Amino acid sequence: MLLEVNQATKLYKRGTEEFKAVDNASLSLNPGEYAVINGQSGSGKSTLLAIIAGLLNLDSGQASFDGTDIGTLGDKKLSALRNEKIGFIPQGQCLLSNFTIIDNVALPGLLAKRKNSRERAKALLDRLGIARLANQYPARLSGGEIRRAAIARGLINEPKLVVADEPTSDLDPANSLNIFELFNEIALSGAAVLVVTHESQKPNGCHKRYLMNDGVLLLES
């Protein structure tokens, strides 16, 4: 198993009240598996992805990647894991404003000392239809163009696991389809893909669909 989340619970406080943002959630993905998570706003999807990306600690349960408990890793190992093995595409704007688009996309590759990062970045920008914007700064881009650049950045190191949080929420139908097709190709090439989306139709090639409701995760199909 590449990713295994076991009875994960994350508590948050709202005022004096504590609630379970993620409630005893279990999920597993093999290499090459492609899964989506649906669920209403506020149901805990981003919290779950942040746990998988090692950005949040659990109150109980476990999340492991390639047999290693993510919660036991120190900062340095966690950063390396996130940079090299897990391609995390967060929900919000995450590009560095003083870097050009190509530099933003190539940066994780440079940090991992991987060769040909700029070439791979160019190819990804091309695949996502924004190659002409390579030398622009994020402030000059539209929301959907920024989103696509963030997706390219998450894929630059050819991660074993892609974790994407509503990657198509600000894209038109044709661009959304292109992203879901790219995820399908990535899964076919052997990586695992986990996508939070409000699209209720299973995308082409998708193996399983989870539904999150009030922190509770259910395998739907």
Chain residues that interact with ligand ATP, rule: CB under 6 A: 12, 14, 21, 39, 41-47, 91
The structure tokens listed for 17 are: 């009240």
**Quick one: angle between helices 143-155 and 101-111, nearest 10?**
20
Residue nearest to Mg ion (CB): 46
Kindly state the helix (H) or strand (E) to which residue 123 belongs, with its residue range. helix 117-127
| Minimum distance of ligand ATP from residue 42's CB (angstroms) | 4
Q: How far apart (Å, rounded) are the C-alpha atoms in residues 136 and 200?
A: 34
137 binds, among ligand ATP, Mg ion, none (CB under 5 to 8 A by kind): none
83 binds, among Mg ion, ligand ATP, none (CB under 5 to 8 A by kind): none
The SS3 of residue 114 is coil
41 binds, among Mg ion, ligand ATP, none (CB under 5 to 8 A by kind): ligand ATP
| Minimum distance of Mg ion from residue 165's CB (angstroms) | 6
> Nearer to Mg ion by C-beta: 45 or 148?
45
The structure tokens listed for 112 are: 């991992």
101 binds, among ligand ATP, Mg ion, none (CB under 5 to 8 A by kind): none
> Nearer to ligand ATP by C-beta: 20 or 160?
20
The binding site for Mg ion (CB under 5 A) comprises 45-46, 91
Q: How far is CA 1 from CA 160, 161, 191, in A?
A: 12, 12, 12
**193, 1 in Cβ contact below 8 A?**
no
